Amino acid sequence: MTALIQIVLGGVLLLAGRRLFWLLAGAAGFMLGLLLTRSLLAEPSETVMLIVPLATGALFAVLALVGLRFVIGFVGFVAGGIGLSWLFSAFSVTPAEPTTLLAAAIFIAGGLAGAFLLSRLFELGLVLLSSLLGAGLALRGLDAIVALPDAWGAVPLILLLVIGVAVQLGPLRR
């Protein structure tokens, strides 16, 4: 069930994330909830793996609708941190078992970049982060259903990222 949610959420973010900031916030919260659940609980049940990320995502989405200024930097931080972690993983830049310190450093660096993008360059940051998070979510969901070949590496992520950016920036050119 979580895989299907990731695919649908990723696809919508990939193609329409620029128009739906609250959805980017919800997706960032969803992924943060998933990461926290996996890292804090030894073997969480499928129910917990569904409820905690959905609740965290709903909280982020509501906060984005209610307190936009406060949430922009935080959503950018979470989305950027997750996105850079995925990029490093996709390009196999980090070791197979990165240390907690290295993983935290990558997350924080991506978080700072994402917070800057959304705070200073909102429109462009929204397109880049929603495309990156959408591509990563869709691929993670698809990989949970059908194992994607490791030989592909970062190609699917980069391809979906480029498609997402092109689709979302297309209406701006007119």
36 pLDDT tier (thresholds 50, 70, 90): confident
- pLDDT tens-digit series, residues 105-120: 888 999 999 888 888 8
Q: Which distant-in-sequence residues (6+ apart) come within 8 Å of 163 by Cβ? A: 14
* Domain spans, the chain: 2-173
Q: What is the pTM of this model?
A: 0.78
According to the model, what pLDDT value does residue 98 have? Answer: 61
Cα dist. 158→37, 46, 68, 132 in Å? 27, 30, 29, 8
Quick: pLDDT tens for 122-133: 888 888 888 988
CA distance 114 to 72: 10
